[in-house]
Amino acid sequence: MSLHQPASGVAGDGRGRWSLRHELIGLSGVVERNLYLVKRYIWWDIAFFVWTVANTLSIVFIARGIEASGGTIDVNRAATSLLIGAVIWAYLGVIFEIMTETVAWERWEGTIEYTFMAPLSRSVHLFGMGAFALLYGMARALLLFAVCAFFFDLSIPDADFGAALVVLAVASVSFVGLGIVTAVLPLISPEKGSQLGFVAQGLLLVVSGVYYPVEVLPRWMQWLATVSPATYALDGIRDAILVGDPLTAMGDELWPLVVIGVVAVPVGLAVFRRGERYAKQHGKLKRSG
């Protein structure tokens, strides 16, 4: 027995009747698989989350620390700004990491060959990883924000959370695109690829104004900040939450994010396809670990 039904017709183009519906089922399979992995590695997730909470708290307490050591600062505003930076970075960082580890994790588990010979287009495979990363990252960021906000008596009466979420959603597309670009690194360099992904992530962290305005950076780093989607995401979300800017006032942030997203996703897919071809030419799709 098998679960496939007998053929009822033959497509004439030689490509068969593999449809968009099949691809969407395949995409749901990628999400399903990652949910199983979260369930099976739940203690890893808990430990990682606790570390992220501790890290976020230690950053946000800096605002109080400055005041306690005699500095003049609007503690509420600074703490909120740092919290937004830490939470948004945790969210975008998770998306980036999941995308970057698309290949590395499969290689480590020994499933890479099975996945790459499955009848699933690579774009659907990668979009499936992106969809899971968005779901997982969002759930984690909301929980992180709730836990950390509990430690601070934050006052954000003007916040426009709707506008902040729209900016975050648009920025997520760009990050998925950049993640796809870095996902290729473990494909072409099994030993060093993941580490190079962390280098790229670290670079974005430094230049994007996660914990400080990008204006404090040297000029050449400010130029790099203009091509980082995180810069615009953080600007927009801070404006929405701290100042209460509505979506209509977010043009300066949304347009660059849309442009980066529109460019990053197809470029990411093209880079990944080239990387996959290189890996298949040089026998680098084998398992390791």
CB-wise, 33 or 77, nearer to other proteins? 33
Question: Under rule CB under 8 A, how many of the chain's residues touch other proteins?
Answer: 49
Alpha carbon 163 to chain centroid, angstroms: 19
Nearest-angstrom CA–CA distance, 232 and 255: 9
Q: Shortest distance, CB of residue 194 to other proteins, whole angstroms?
A: 18
Q: Binding to other proteins by residue 218, rule CB under 8 A?
A: no
Question: Which residues make Cβ contacts (< 8 Å) with residue 142, sequence separation at least 6?
Answer: none
Residue 53, SS3 per DSSP: helix
Q: Binding to other proteins by residue 287, rule CB under 8 A?
A: yes
Q: CA torsion angle for 198, 259, 160, 139 (degrees, to 10)?
A: -40
Q: Which listed residue (70, 157, 218, 283) binds other proteins by CB under 8 A?
A: 283
DSSP 84: H
Q: CA torsion angle for 150, 155, 159, 164 (degrees, to 10)?
A: -40
Q: Shortest distance, CB of residue 144 to other proteins, whole angstroms?
A: 25
Give, in order, the Cα–Cα distances in Å from 15 to each of 19, 126, 273.
10, 22, 20
Residues 3-22 touching other proteins, rule: CB under 8 A, are 3-12, 14-18, 21-22
Question: Which residues make Cβ contacts (< 8 Å) with residue 25, sequence separation at least 6?
Answer: none
Residues 100-129 touching other proteins, rule: CB under 8 A, are 109-111, 113-121
Residues 25-54 touching other proteins, rule: CB under 8 A, are 25-26, 28-30, 32-33, 36-37, 40-41
Nearest-angstrom CA–CA distance, 151 and 80: 12
Q: Shortest distance, CB of residue 31 to other proteins, whole angstroms?
A: 9
Q: Which two tokens stand for residue 242?
A: 């701290």
Residues 165-204: x/- map of binding to other proteins (CB under 8 A)?
A: ----------------------------------------
Contacts to other proteins by CB under 8 A: 1-12, 14-18, 21-22, 25-26, 28-30, 32-33, 36-37, 40-41, 109-111, 113-121, 277, 280-283, 285, 287
